[in-house]
């Protein structure tokens, strides 16, 4: 469904800016355990797996609510659904400052995670204000709100240091910021009833998309480019502290070198997808990630060989500079990939963007939930920190194989058509 003819470009721009700002704040809140989880881990003496579960808990709720929120957006409009989603999360975020036991944090984190569902609200809401040939770019701009992950890495450590090491200031500031954001969004956004499906499209009809194999394919791609991004955004601060011995402020800053391009460059991914197509863009994204994760997977290694002049010891490791450069490249690739996957959706499911984006967003979010837990489990099991990249390398391999065999028939058809045309 494209933009209503009556929708002025001024309203469309206002909707895009207000929605992107709101999503940026929501994402910053959603990712706050990337920093907040570190002092909580020390306070409660958590294992790596327990830390992974705590960090991932908001991602679980933010993933599960994406499907119903996407459907409600199709029916009732993105403005009201987006606004209410932010309001509901304000109180649980504030209460986080008063939690003392591990289960307190887990339960409250579930409610905090509601703001993560805002993505499946904003995507169809924004897309329908723009014509088809600009939807990839518009969704990419909105998706740049993922940069909220980097904002958390700058803001949260600064707040903790300013408060003399008291982490409880962070949820209080975030709760106030989210409330103000919700009010600003309501003032500067707009509604167009023609964008809503109303009750004419039932739940069962919307969920028929699950029978389409393309939806499952896009779910797998998104679980890599978005799920992997979320998992690494949650994990990298702690990784820098454990692997390279940095303090929390330096570690968070370096982790932001991955999170920031992974968010702001999503608009570039939308533009590239509009220009070169979703398939080509996603294909190259997967190959870049494949190479980067292969290099990042190699653990710090020291081995000794016997030479003619005696034993010779070699040390192989990524220093912090090279590691950060590679993570920066991965951040760029995932930013482009997140946009290109949703270009697939806007091309193939124009009349049901909300439901499909909800399902695909759910898959990506579940990837972001499961992966940090698996990172922690693998680290507890093997003691090898780079095991997280070994796992991600495997998921990218699956995507590349699936893409190859899924699109090969279409490529053969195009080649045959081109051959017939040239012969004529």
Q: What is the DSSP string of 95-122?
A: HGGG--SHHHHHHHHHHHGGGGGHHHHH
Query: In the beta sheet, which residues pair with residue 140?
Result: none
Q: Yes or no: say if 49 and 376 are a contact pair by the CB < 8 Å rule.
A: yes
- Angle between helical axes of 33-44 and 227-244 (0-180°, round to 10): 50
CATH of the domain at 114: 1.20.1250.20
- HSE-CB for 84 with a 13 A CA cutoff: 10
- pLDDT at position 273, please? 85
Partners of 315 in the β-ladder: 302
Which region holds residue 165: left if phi is over 0, alpha if psi is between -120 and 50, else beta? left
Residues 6+ apart with CB under 8 A from 354: 70, 71, 72, 73, 74, 120, 123, 124, 206
Residue 1 lies in a domain: no
Q: Is residue 311 part of a domain?
A: no
Token output for 354? 């909300």
What would the pLDDT profile of 171-222 be if each residue is shown by its tens digit?
999 999 999 999 999 999 888 776 666 554 555 665 666 777 788 888 888 8
Indicate the DSSP class of residue 298: P
pLDDT at 74: 78
Name the nearest CA neighbour of 142 among 381, 413, 303, 353.
353
The residue behind tokens 């124009």 is 350
pLDDT at 412: 53
Domain count, the chain: 1
Alpha helices by DSSP H, 116-164:
118-127, 132-143, 148-162
Q: Are 67 and 188 in contact (CB under 8 A)?
A: no
Q: Provide the token pair at 75.
A: 């029916």
Output the CA torsion sign for 249, 250, 255, 257.
positive
In a domain, 33, yes or no: yes
Q: What percent of the chain is modeled with pLDDT above 90?
A: 35
Tens digit of pLDDT at every position of the chain (424 positions) = 444 433 457 788 899 999 999 999 998 998 899 889 899 999 999 998 999 899 889 988 888 887 788 778 878 888 999 999 999 999 999 999 999 999 999 999 999 989 988 888 888 888 888 887 777 778 778 877 878 888 898 899 999 988 888 999 999 999 999 999 999 999 998 887 766 665 545 556 656 667 777 888 888 888 889 889 889 988 999 999 999 999 888 999 999 888 888 777 777 887 888 888 888 888 899 999 999 999 999 888 888 888 888 888 888 888 999 999 999 999 999 989 888 887 888 777 766 666 777 778 778 888 888 999 999 999 999 999 999 999 999 999 988 888 888 776 555 554 444 444 445 5
**Rounded Cα distance, 52 and 378, in Å:** 11
379 lies in a domain?
yes
In terms of residue numbers, what domain contains 77? 9-196+207-301+317-412
- Apex CA 321: angle with CA 395 and CA 333, to 5°? 35
Burial (0-12, 13-18, 19+ Cβ within 10 Å), 377: middle
Q: Give pTM, 2 decimals.
A: 0.77
162 vs 145: CA distance, rounded Å:
26
Q: What is the pLDDT of residue 45?
A: 92
Token readout for 15 is 């909707």
292 in a structural domain:
yes
As beta bridge partners, residue 316 has: 301
Classify residue 311 by its DSSP letter: E
Instruction: Give the C-alpha separation, 235 to 327, whole Å.
Output: 12
Please give the C-alpha separations between residue 101 and each of 45, 96, 106, 372, in angstroms, as whole numbers.
Answer: 11, 11, 9, 21
Residue 4 domain-assigned (yes or no): no
d(CA 258, CA 228): 12
Assess if residue 307 is contained within a domain.
no
Please, what is the Cα angle at 191 between 186 and 196, to 5 degrees?
130
DSSP string covering 214-282, please?
HHHHHHHHHHHHTHHHHHHHHHHHHHHHHHH---HHHHHHHHHHHHHHHHHTHHHHHHHHHHH-HHHHH
Digit-coded pLDDT (tens) for 118-171: 888 888 888 888 887 777 778 778 877 878 888 898 899 999 988 888 999 999
Burial class of 67 by CB neighbour count within 10 A (0 to 12, 13 to 18, 19+): buried
Spatial CB neighbours of 305, under 8 Å, sequence gap ≥ 6: 311, 312, 314
420 located within any domain = no
Q: ∠ CA 386-392-393 to the nearest 5 degrees?
A: 90
């Amino acid at each position: 469904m494209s933009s209503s003819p009556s929708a002025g470009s001024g309203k469309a721009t206002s909707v895009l800016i207000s929605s992107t700002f709101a999503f940026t704040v929501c994402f910053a809140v959603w990712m706050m355990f990337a920093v907040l989880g570190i002092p909580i881990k020390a306070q409660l003496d958590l294992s790596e797996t327990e830390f992974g579960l705590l960090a991932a808990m908001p991602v679980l709720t933010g993933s599960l609510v994406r499907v119903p929120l996407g459907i409600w957006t199709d029916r009732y409009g993105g403005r009201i659904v987006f606004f209410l989603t932010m309001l509901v999360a304000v109180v649980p975020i504030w209460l986080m400052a008063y939690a003392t036991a591990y289960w307190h944090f887990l339960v409250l984190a579930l409610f905090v995670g509601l703001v993560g569902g805002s993505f499946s609200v904003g995507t169809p809401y924004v897309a329908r204000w723009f014509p088809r040939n600009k939807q990839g770019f518009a969704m990419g701009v909105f998706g740049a709100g993922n940069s909220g992950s980097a904002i958390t890495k700058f803001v949260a450590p600064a707040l903790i240091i300013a408060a003399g090491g008291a982490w409880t200031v962070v949820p209080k500031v975030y709760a106030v910021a989210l409330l103000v954001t919700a009010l600003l969004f309501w003032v500067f956004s707009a509604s167009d009833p023609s964008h809503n499906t109303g009750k004419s499209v039932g739940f069962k009809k919307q969920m028929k998309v699950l029978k389409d194999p393309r939806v499952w394919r896009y779910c797998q791609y998104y679980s890599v480019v978005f799920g992997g991004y979320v998992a690494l955004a949650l994990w990298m601060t702690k990784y820098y502290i454990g692997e390279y011995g940095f303090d929390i402020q330096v570690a968070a800053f370096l982790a932001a070198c991955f999170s920031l391009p992974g968010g702001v460059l999503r608009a570039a991914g939308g533009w590239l997808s509009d220009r070169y197509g979703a398939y080509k863009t996603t294909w190259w994204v997967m190959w870049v990630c494949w190479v980067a994760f292969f290099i990042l997977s190699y653990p710090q290694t020291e081995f000794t060989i016997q030479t003619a002049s005696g034993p010779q010891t070699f040390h192989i490791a990524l220093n912090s500079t090279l590691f950060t450069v590679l993570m920066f490249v991965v951040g760029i690739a995932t930013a482009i990939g997140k946009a290109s996957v949703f270009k697939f959706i806007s091309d193939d499911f124009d009349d049901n963007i909300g439901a499909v984006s909800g399902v695909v967003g759910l898959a990506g979010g579940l990837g972001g939930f499961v992966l940090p837990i698996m990172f922690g489990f693998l680290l507890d099991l093997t003691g090898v920190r780079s095991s997280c990249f070994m796992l991600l390398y495997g998921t990218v391999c699956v995507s590349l194989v699936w893409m190859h065999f899924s699109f090969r028939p279409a490529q053969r058809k195009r080649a045959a058509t081109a051959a017939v045309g040239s012969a004529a």
